[in-house]
Amino acid sequence: MDQFVYSPKSLGSAIKRQRKEKKLSQTEAGRAFNVDQTTISSIEQGASGTRLGTLFRLLAALDLELVIRPKKIGASTNKEGW
């Protein structure tokens, strides 16, 4: 299922949702790609400042990909001011 991400908080929520769907703990999700549990927790809480390399390792651990595309015409603006 596609999920729209407009901020660090919504990205964290989307990652957490996918991790839980795979029935993985934060520790299990990070183990294969050397991401600490505390880092995963921070990302899932929407903390800004996450390194892109760390984010991509976590996405890989969850078999997720990042897709960038233009917004659809008439799409509403996000609620979080980004």
- Read off the pLDDT of residues 5-64 as tens digits, 9 standing for 90 and up: 889 999 999 999 999 999 999 999 999 888 999 999 999 999 989 999 999 999 999 999
Q: How far apart are CA 44 and CA 66, in angstroms?
A: 16
Helices then strands, counting H and E runs in the chain, come out as 4, 0
